[in-house]
Amino acid sequence: MSERLSVGDAAPEFTLPDADGKEVSLSDLRGRNVIVYFYPAAMTPGCTKQACDFRDSLDSLAAAGYAVLGISPDKPAKLQKFREHDGVTFPLLSDPDKEVLSAYGAFGEKTMYGKKVTGVIRSTFVVDGEGKIAVAQYNVKATGHVAKLRRDLGL
């Protein structure tokens, strides 16, 4: 199981391809607050609901100074279909080797339908402008999570 991150920790740096294969680095967004969320699989009901909630909140999050990045183990081609099918307007990044997922503690043992399995742990982080973890939330629910995050951020 990967080590979990806490508020104040340095956010693990990453560079991953987006849905178009273009590399996106966390360091490119230094100076801004960045919401980095990890989800199990594009085009599944819970992940679609969560992505659409972020999409629908994007204008107000951006107005408050937040960028959003979604990360899953999906390949760029699947992310491209997901983006186009659901009108996702923020970068979806591909981490098929699960290195970034693991660095953030978002991959490991979890309970699903009463069974212990190894997989993506739905998690959300806010990285501040200096690259430090400002919010670390593990095992979040797909439905209602964005609204709760907005409340936690005072938006």
Q: Residue 140: helix, strand or coil by DSSP? A: coil
5, 36, 47, 88: the active-site residue: 47
Measured distance CA(109)–CA(117) in Å, rounded:
6
Query: Are 66 and 28 in contact, with CB atoms under 8 Å apart?
Result: no
Strands 107-112 and 133-138: unpaired
The residues facing 66 across adjacent strands are 33
- DSSP code of residue 14: -
Look up 47 and say whether it is catalytic: yes
CB atoms within 10 A of CB 11: 22
Active site residues: 47
